[in-house]
Structure 1
Amino acid sequence: MRAATSSLTLIGREPDLEALRAEAAAAAAGEPRAVVIGGEAGIGKSRLLEDFLAGQESTATVLLGRCVDLGADGAPYAPFAAVLRRLVQVAGLDRVLEIAGSSAGVLPALLPELADESAVPPRTGAERLYELVTELLEKLSAERLVILAIEDLQWADRSTLELLRFIIRMGERGRLLVVLTYRSEEVPRGHVLRSWLPELERTRRVTRWELPRLGREQVAQLVEQLLGRTPDDGSLERVTELSEGVPFFVEELVGIDGLRSGDDLPETLRELVLARFERLSEPAQRLLRVLAAGGVCVTHDLLAAVFEGTPEQLDAAAREAVTANILAADSTEYSFRHALVREAIHADLLPGERTRFHTRYAEALEASPQCSAVQLSAHWLAAHDVRRAFIASLEAMEEAKRSYAYATAAAMGDRVLELWDSVPDAEELSGRDRIAVIARTASALRNAGNNDRALALVDVALAEADGLAPSRHARLLRDKAQYLANLNRPGGTELLERALALVPPQAVPSGDPLRPHLLTELAALRMLAGDFEAAIETARAALAEAETAAPPMRSVAHNILASSLVASDRLDEGFAEFELAGSLAAGDAGATLRYAVNASDALNSVGRYADAVRLAQSGVARARERGVERTSGIWLAANTAEPLIALGEFERAEDLLRVALGFDDRAGLCAQLQRARLWVWHGEPGRADELLRRFRTPLRALAELEQQTRLSLARVAGETAIALGDYERAWAETHGLGEPPFRRMPGYDLPVLVNAARALAELATQDGGSSVVEVAGAALDVDSEADRLEAVLDDLRGWPTADAWAPLADAELATARAAVSGVADRGERYADAEEAWRVAADAGALAVAPVHVRPYALLRGARVALAAGDRERAAGLIAEGRALAEASGIRLLVEAADALGAQPALRSAPVAAAHGAPLTEREEQVLALIEQGLSNKQIGERLYISAKTASVHVSSILRKVGASSRTEAVYLAARSSS
């Protein structure tokens, strides 16, 4: 219900309303969208949203939720409770349960009324709840547009923000529009929205803007509409000055006396906000004071329990407040028309009133069957009843954990710790000592993603751990190791070793899984670091002590043992261990997913790409059944994408990797690496380079701990640099293979080695035949480096995929040696390299060869044939290589073939050379752009390289063709190829 002192149409917000309608149209067309609207209090966010939603109700399902102004004390997911109840009302409970499927047991986390007390709560986590809500919205939005609107985000608890972020980032299917509003002046430095909003904006589907204040003409329009007449200039000037263009203040000023006289206009903001309140009767004011202690919105039943008066008195006072346009009412609750009014009334409460009202609310909530312990804790704290606040905070901590609202659980844990010293029997009431509460709070912080604070808290616990039992001390050390691992920081191995020393086998009761858990986690860290022999020994020790442990735990130990054995070339033993891991994992979702991740990775590393895809996809299906496809399933998305890229199924890989967009944890980072690889072979190396630059810092940190990530990063960064023609960078990324900190992992070493050999060949070719080339200011002996890389290669030739990769590396190294051989006759100089590329091309037809290997080898062979002067063979190789690349959708190689084929001689040969050194593919592309008259900056923009790199290529071209100017270079290159 809108009072007469509220404008009938929006003034000054027409462009914003149209923008929202455009976003709704885009979402209705199948493109999920999100809009975040900020602005100061009273600026018109709620009114804009109200008008927009009113216009959409006939064609869309509108789900509206509001955050309450109790900050971290708000009930977890408070706005989503209203959203889900509306969803059930619109779609029907049966339909909601049908969509939820096996995840229906998670729904009581948001809707307690659906809880079945006889049922065993599912073992799950926040990710399953997030996926369930996203799935519900997606499925229902397939039928008609769904608009999810959440107001006053500045008051949202962290769990609500995490759920919103998940929906916005991971909602890929259906027609969904998310609209969020927040008060910009209530987001000070340190507020969670300060980091949350910019992070959200990385998702391209998010649009964000702020509502400005009204200008003088717009204020005049609003005043005229409110009054129904044109105000006199003096009154208008006064309203404009006092309101400062804030629509709410304009409405309040006009509502005082209709601007009949300027004498009654207030002088301060507080007077303005309270003007209508102070004109109410004393009973209505008393009701509003009570209501203000409860928040912006209070249900009628709760208010009735708190209000000291008869139901008739409550109704009369509420009706007066609604008529005065201070309150709004629906069928179940009262809410202040504007939060500013509530805040002003609450701030005006006397100390005695404040304590008395909050006590009443707490007592009423305790009597309610759906009492929120979080809100109960807040009210007892505001009532200064420390003991009851302590007890409520303990229950709130457990309540939040049951709802997977880990940030709220951590906040309640902090409150328990703050009150601890003020409650004499705190340990008796809590049933645990202070260190245990610290550890539980740290665990909640870890689950909420705040590993930094979790680490700080566990350090506090460890500082007080001298008198603890060894097993508890060991668990704290284990917790710290986990938090460090989550932060991609070193030190976890040493902490687990210390923990094991505290609890030798004889000191642990029989059947206690502590030592097997510690050993398994230590084995995992050693495996990730590439210390495979130590990992094998540790995993076997874990299994020896885990004979009576649950099958899922033993599955994980077998899994780690299997991965380490495979990486150590003990393939038969390793895959036998994977069989055991898979059978023991049956029935446990977590262990099954872990098995699918590691086993599919092992299959991919030995060249069994189709088997890797099948196993990883079966894991994805299980993740989907469990409701964690877009969280835990990201590992499997990355693992499925990698062999799909090897098989040339780029579109399927792209679809799988899209799910990783919203994550920057370990799984998300690994998926981003595969995404960059995909873009390189799609012919978008500039886009891949941008992605690598964006994630370079966390990837580097992860690579310090994980050998596989170190090698994957070296491979993708090397491929990207080569595609961009930046061979010095490619060499810098890859040449350290075989030396610390790289450790041997044949399946991952071989592609990196090929990139290093390619970079060496290009650098040797660019330098015009000198055996010593300058790279990053240092002398590089081509022959010595080729010998070193060959020695590394010889150690890898027994690996299954070496049949495909080793010939490529051999051919690149032969090309590098030929470039600096000093033999005058070009045919003789490149004879060995030509033969090596024939062998490499044949190897590209093997089953273990990724789809790009054969066309790549053909085109590289064509380059060498041109350098040897064999144009006819080069033309044939280019044609065959291009046809294969085009058939496989490898745009990078299609473009490379076209660059070779664009040469004047037979339209297929890069032969512009001086002193026997041909131009590289990239130099041919640069030469073509020089011919078009482009500057270095323009060349860099066209080829996605820096102007400096373009300048280096231009200088190399001038040197090779013996030209002193760009024009002369074009002329000499054309003459040389004719």
Structure 2
Amino acid sequence: MRAPASSTTLVGRESDLAALRDEFATASRGELRAVVIGGEAGIGKSRLLDEFLGEQEQSATVLLGRCVDLGDDGAPYAPFAAVLRRLIQTVGLERVLEAAGPGAGVLSALLPELADDSAVPPRTGAERLYELVTVLLERVSAERPVILAIEDLHWADRSTLELLRFIVRMAESGRLLVLLTYRSDEVPRGHVLRSWLPELERTRRVTRWELARLGDEQVAELVEELLGRVPDDGSLERVTELSEGVPFFVEELVGIDGLRSGDDLPETLRELVLARYERLSEPAQRLLRVLAAGGVCVTHELLAAVFDGTPDELDAAAREAVTANLLAADSTEYLFRHALVREAIHADLLPGERTRYHARYAEALEVSPQRSAVQLSAHWLAAHDVRRAFLASLEAMEEAKRSYAYATVAAMGDRVLELWDGVPDAEVLSGSDRVAVLAQTASALRNAGNNERALALVEAALAEADELPPSRRARLLRDKGQYLGNLNRPGSAQLLEQALATVPPGALPSGDPLRPHLMTELAAQRMLAGHFDAAIETARGAIAEAQESPARMRSIAHNILAASLVESGRIDEGFAEFEIAGTLAAGDAGATLRYLVNASDALNSVGRYAEAVRMAEEGVARARERGVERTSGIWLAANTAEPLIALGRYEQAAAMLRVALGFDDRTGVTAQLQRVRLWVWHGEPKRADDLLRRLRSPLRALAELEQQTRLALARASGEVAIALGDYDRAWLETRGIGAPPFCSLPGYDLPVLAVASRALAELAGAADPVRSVGVLAGGGAGSGPESGPESGRPAAAEAALTAAVLAEARRLESVLEPLRTWPTAAAWAPLIEAELTTSRAAVSPTADRTERYAGAAAAWEQAASAAEHPLAPAQLLPYALLRAARVAQLSGDRSRADRLVTQGRELAEAGGVAMLVRAADAIGAQPPARAAAAASAQGQPLTEREEQVLALIEQGLSNKQIGERLYISAKTASVHVSSILRKTGASSRTEAVYLASRPVT
């Protein structure tokens, strides 16, 4: 009597099964969950999955797909093709097409048999396909929970991995559980999963664990379950030793004649894996050898075409293999019960057998309805037919391109290039030259996200392009520029200029769009770099040369011209050009998106926040209708956050950003930067700072190319530093405003200038003048010009600080002057002036506080009034009121300070600005300023921060407690205390309180 293939009871995996049930329960409540299960070969991943899926079939739609071991030659999206077929069988084709929505035709990229005349235009992009599949799963799961299970992820093609990542990150609704398994021993260094899995885990939706080997007691339980009896001690000991706790090996060992005697057990794992195979008849073994050449699973139709026996012989051999627990079969295909068996049998093939069988598969696939050019290429290559492998690889490039499987396009392109020299008539067969294949492969690599290799290949193409027509060389230069831009490296504009010089006016046939296209891209590069005059000139040139070009190209050129005009201060002209761009974009989704993105950004820049939100939301709604909300519409969603923040609609801004955060490209980084600012205003500066530090590297690279990013990064960094009380850092982040490498974008300059002015005011009032001078000089503490021996004398240090603050205030005023004509300057300029007036007051030698801060108090009154302007961001008014309150405190006007704090706090609380609510509470907790506190042994006044510290000393607080109360370190508090002792001439903290309270004489 033979033992069963596997135990009917799941042994040793009870906790894993329970965890999967919990994950499914969570997903069933509408919260997407993903589980990634790893483990070595034979550890029981498939067995666990089978058990769980079998349990849930009555309550969920189970969609199972497998990745096939064909090296790097798996058909793109192979597991998703199986998943989609299963879904069609389950709910019907009509329901699938209905759930997919307007773009249902794109599903033909997964199942070619779905292609018909209603399909959308083919070049919609990979992410369009990803979104379509995600929407389909969401809508189907709304009716009944869906379990999407993909096995053997270590064999997945890159397109499958990218689609899975998109689903896990971007699905927003529905009831979906994603289950993924992979063999951890098949993921060596350099394997794509090495980086893919940690990226996936960054979302909290993912749980990942590894299956452990069975313990001795679990092995004994499994053996007893398989045998139906208790084994003898010798056999059990031998099984435990040989299997090492791997369930598959336990099952194989027990399967050898029901473990009648431990003496017959094999000595090696290879012998163990092949033990059942070697007991089969020759026809059954031959069938398994043929099957192994086709992969882990092969359809009956394909196997019948490859097998050289009669149908009856095939059935008999297959039945024998199934009975021996080597194969499993369903209604359409044969499947090796374990990949280890297939691998062992395939490795055992003789060279002649291997060549013959792969050739048979290739010949059968040539005429099969399931024809896959990618698999054809692999089989012809394994059969050593270079010419046919070359042709199949060329076909596979086009096939994969239609499916947006760009990594596969690139892999097949690499194969074509490898085989090129071995095919005498390669150019005739391909219809192109080697440079064209290099360019196509580079483009595919770029689309697959591998810009480094794309750059290397396009450089190789340029090295071989000397004899090519100028137009082709110009296109290669353009491509190189794009790849450099994707890598956030400089040089794109120069390459575009070189490309234009290669094809001067009149060099191309009439109607060729290459020159206007190059000019439009160059204008965009110049616009992003902040060179608006050059961008305007180039965009106008593109428009002039694009009269015969499609409306889409002309729309983009007008769009870039419009944005450049607005940023250069010619606002009315710019918005007139936006109107033209929008009209020309009608009917073209890509051009319309670009128009809406740039126009909404321009509206936000000039302070028309509500209009910016309406325009962006309109675009998001249209994207949602077309089913591209999470791809094409993502830029609009991210763009909408900034004006929403300005309007004080923080929760709505966070909701808009949520989807964009799933991206790793510029969109995601930009969205994360907006998220930093949201967390600051929500009163979570530490959390914002942690995120900012993680983003610093990609943001700096992007800022090298884009002025808007440079300024946005400076603003966010400065706001985080201010919220943390780190004024040194706030200054260092923003002090460069108005000087290279910053270029002027007034709508972005003003907020950065405001942060820099606030930092200057705080440094002016800091306890350590030497440190402040060093920071203002551009270094750190003690790095300024006054940090030599003379700086040890308090008077010299104070004089140096006064000179530095006044100089910087004048410089920032000069930066502000040309910005005054910008619309939003009506709100920002008075606030900046108030900060600068406060910085001057802090270093004023005047002892009387009321007199000293009179100008600052008046300036803040004007700033608060200006903050009520319609173009002012919502948080500006409570901020101005609270800064005015602090100045009133410093001047000794406690009643006015209390009134202003109350007003500011009420507005901040009503607007949900937690950071300002806390600031109001901190100001309100300060005791009244001492009218005589300016007196000291040296005649030096205490700074604003020193006044705060002195008040807390009077309450008996330690340095650590002072630091906690003022959100500074204990070390910084100690510096302030030392300065107070020095200025008052006191020898103790108690004496300092007494001396500072004496009237001035």
Name the TM-score, length of structure 2 as normaliser.
Answer: 0.93
- Cα 1:251–1:768 shift into 2, 3 Å: closer
SS in 1 for 2:774: strand
1:615 Cα offset (Å): 0.8
Are the counterparts in 2 of residues 151 and 182 from structure 1 also a CA contact under 8 Å?
yes
The residue aligned with 1:959 is: 979
Q: Are 1:540 and 2:540 matched, yes or no? A: yes
Q: In 1, Cα distance between the equivalents of 2:386 and 2:951?
A: 74
Compared with structure 1, are the counterparts of its residues 220 and 348 closer, same or farther at alpha carbon in structure 2 (3 Å cutoff)?
A: same
Whether the 8 Å contact between 2:106 and 2:120 is mirrored in structure 1 is: no
- 1:450-469 map, 5 Å: 450-469=450-469
* Residue in 1 that maps onto 2:344: 344
Q: Is the 1:523–1:539 Cα contact (8 Å) retained in structure 2? A: yes
Q: CA deviation at 1:953?
A: 4.1
Local SS of the residue matching 1:648: coil
Taking the aligned partners of 1:573 and 1:976, their CA distance within structure 2 comes to 62
Partner-residue secondary structure (3-state), 2:65: strand
| Counterpart position of 1:212 | 212
Task: Please name the residue that 1:858 is paired with.
Answer: 881
Task: Tell me if 1:792 matches 2:815.
Answer: yes
User: Whole-Å Cα distance in 1 between the matches of residues 947 and 67 of structure 2?
Assistant: 56
Q: 2:793 corresponds to which residue?
A: none
Q: Answer yes or no: is the 8 Å Cα contact 1:600–1:639 preserved in 2.
A: yes
> Who is 1:804 aligned against?
827
Alpha-carbon shift at residue 112 of structure 1 (Å):
1.2
Q: 2:773 matched to 1:773?
A: yes
Q: Percent identity?
A: 75
Residues 771 and 379 (structure 1), Cα distance of their counterparts in 2 relative to 1, 3 Å cut: closer
Query: Which amino acid in 1 is paired with 2:833?
Result: D
The match for 2:797 is: none
Q: Measure, in 1, the Cα distance between the counterparts of 2:107 and 2:771.
A: 69
Amino acid at match of 2:415: R
1:194-209 aligned at under 5 Å gives the runs 194-209=194-209
8 A contact 2:60–2:145 mirrored in 1: yes
Aligned AA for 1:818? A
- Is contact 1:766–1:917 with CA below 8 Å preserved after alignment? no
Contact 1:43 1:247 in 2 (8 A): yes
Q: 1:505 offset after TM fit, Å? A: 0.9
Whole-angstrom CA distance in 1 between matches of 2:945 and 2:204:
37
| Letter matched to residue 620 of structure 2 | V
Structure 2: tracts of 5 or more residues without a match: 785-800
Pairing partner for 1:845 from 868, 873, 881: 868
Q: Per-residue displacement from partner, 1:535-558 (whole Å, max 9, x unpaired)?
A: 011111111111111111000000
- Cα deviation for residue 370 of structure 1 reads 2.9
Q: Assess if the C-alpha contact under 8 Å between 1:770 and 1:820 holds in 2.
A: no
- Deviation of 1:262 after TM superposition, in Å, equals 1.8
Secondary structure of the residue that 1:285 maps to in structure 2? helix
CA contact (8 A) 1:682 1:890 kept: yes
Structure 1: state its 5+ residue gaps. Answer: none
Cα distance in 2 between the residues matched to 1:100 and 1:400: 22
Q: How many residues in Structure 1 have an aligned counterpart in Structure 2?
A: 971
Q: Which amino acid aligns with 2:27?
A: A
Spell out, residue by residue over 1:757-785, the C-alpha distance to the aligned partner (whole angstroms, 9 max, x if none): 00010111113788963321333611100
Counterpart contact for 2:20–2:52, Cα < 8 Å: yes
Correspondences of 1:142-221 after superposition (within 5 Å): 142-221=142-221
User: 1:970 deviation in Å?
Assistant: 13
* Contact 2:819-2:825 at 8 Å conserved across structures: yes
Once residues 964 and 136 of structure 1 are traced to their aligned partners in structure 2, the CA distance between those partners, rounded to angstroms, is: 76
Q: Quick check: 1:872 aligned with 2:892?
A: no
> Separation in 1 of the partners of 2:196 and 2:866?
50
Deviations 1:725-772 (A, max 9, x none): 111110010000011000111000000000000001011111378896
Distance 1:214 1:772, change over 3 A: closer
Taking structure 1 as reference, are residues 912 and 611 closer, same or farther at Cα in structure 2, changes over 3 Å only? farther
Aligned match of 1:527: 527
Alpha-carbon distance in 2 for matches of 1:955, 1:519: 58
Counterpart for residue 796 of structure 2:
none
CA contact (8 A) 2:471 2:502 kept: yes
CA contact (8 A) 1:719 1:755 kept: yes
- In the alignment, structure 1 residue 829 sits paired with structure 2 residue 849: no
User: Does the 8 Å CA contact 2:106/2:119 hold for their aligned counterparts?
Assistant: no
Which whole-Å CA distance do the structure 2 matches of 1:973 and 1:202 have between them?
56
Q: What's 2:920 paired with?
A: 897
Deviations 1:200-229 (A, max 9, x none): 111121111111111222212211221222
- Aligned pairs for 1:328-727 (under 5 A) are 328-727=328-727
Amino acid at match of 2:919: A
Q: Secondary structure at the match of 1:773?
A: helix
Between the aligned partners of 1:459 and 1:317, the Cα distance in structure 2 is 54
Letter in 1 for 2:174: G
For residue 912 of structure 1, report the CA deviation from its aligned partner: 12
Matched with 1:63 is: 63
Structure 1 residues 966, 528: closer, same or farther in 2, change over 3 A?
farther
**Cα offsets for 1:699-721 (capped at 9, x unmatched):** 00000000000000000000011
The one-letter amino acid of 2:832's match is A
In 2: Cα distance, 1:741 partner to 1:555 partner: 30
In the alignment, the residues of structure 1 paired with residue 989 and residue 851 of structure 2 have an alpha-carbon distance, to the nearest angstrom, of 30
Whether the aligned pair in 1 keeps the contact of 2:59 and 2:144 (CA below 8 Å) is: yes
Match of 1:816 in 2: 839
CA–CA distance in 2 between the matches of 1:645 and 1:928? 39
For the residues of structure 2 that align with 1:684 and 1:68, how far apart are their CA atoms?
A: 47
**Code of the aligned partner of 1:470:** P
- 1:161-198 CA distance string (max 9 Å, x none): 00001011111222211111101111111111111111
Structure 1 residue 257: deviation in Å?
Answer: 2.4
Q: Distance in 2 between matches of 1:921 and 1:461?
A: 66
2:40 aligned residue: 40
Letter in 2 for 1:297: C
Aligned partner of residue 181 in structure 2, secondary structure: strand
Asked if 1 retains the 8 angstrom alpha-carbon contact of 2:959 and 2:970, the reply is no
C-alpha contact (below 8 Å) 1:527/1:560 kept by paired residues: yes
In structure 1, C-alpha distance between the alignment counterparts of 2:744 and 2:272, rounded to whole Å: 73
Within 2, Cα distance between the matches of 1:450 and 1:892?
41
Closer, same or farther: CA 693–768 of 1 in aligned 2, 3 Å: closer
CA–CA separation in structure 1 for the residues paired with 2:12 and 2:928? 66
Secondary structure, counterpart of 1:400 in structure 2: helix
8 A Cα contact 2:765 2:843, kept in partner: yes
Deviation of the 1:83 alpha carbon: 1.0
Greater mean deviation of Cα atoms: 765-774 or 328-337:
765-774
Instruction: Please state how far the C-alpha of 1:811 moved relative to its aligned partner.
Output: 0.6
Q: CA separation in 2, counterparts of 1:21 and 1:500? A: 61
Q: Which amino acid aligns with 2:457?
A: L
1:450-475 CA-to-partner distances (Å, cap 9, x unmatched) read 11111111011011111111000000
Q: Which amino acid aligns with 2:670?
A: C
List aligned pairs for 1:240-259, cutoff 5 A: 240-259=240-259
Give the alignment's Cα RMSD to 1 decimal: 2.7
Q: Secondary structure at the match of 1:69?
A: coil
How has the CA–CA distance of structure 1 residues 505 and 760 changed in structure 2, closer, same or farther, with 3 Å as cutoff?
same
Structure 2 residue 127 is the aligned partner of structure 1 residue 123: no
Structure 1 residues 380 and 976, CA, compared in 2 at 3 Å: closer, same or farther? farther
Residue 792 of structure 2 is matched in structure 1 by none
Query: What CA distance in whole angstroms lies between the structure 2 residues aligned with 1:52 and 1:931?
Result: 64
Q: Tell me, in whole angstroms, the C-alpha distance in 1 between the residues paired with 2:950 and 2:373.
A: 68
Q: Which residue of 1 aligns with 2:791?
A: none
Amino acid at match of 1:555: S
Residues 29 and 175, structure 1, Cα contact 8 Å, conserved in 2:
yes
Report the 3-state secondary structure (helix = DSSP H, G, I; strand = E; otherwise coil) of the residue aligned with 2:598.
helix
Instruction: Provide the rounded CA distance (Å) in 1 between the counterparts of 2:916 and 2:76.
Output: 52
Which one-letter code corresponds to 1:209 in the other structure? W
In the alignment, the residues of structure 2 paired with residue 101 and residue 233 of structure 1 have an alpha-carbon distance, to the nearest angstrom, of 63
Conserved in 1, the CA contact under 8 Å of 2:981 and 2:992? no
Indicate the SS of the match to 2:72: helix
State the match for 1:277 in structure 2.
Answer: 277
Q: C-alpha displacement at 1:623, in angstroms?
A: 2.2
8 Å Cα contact 1:830/1:864 also seen in 2:
yes
Query: AA paired with 1:812?
Result: E
Number of the residue aligned with 1:18: 18
Please, which moves more after superposition, 603-612 or 769-778? Answer: 769-778
Alpha-carbon contact 2:953-2:993 (below 8 Å) kept: no
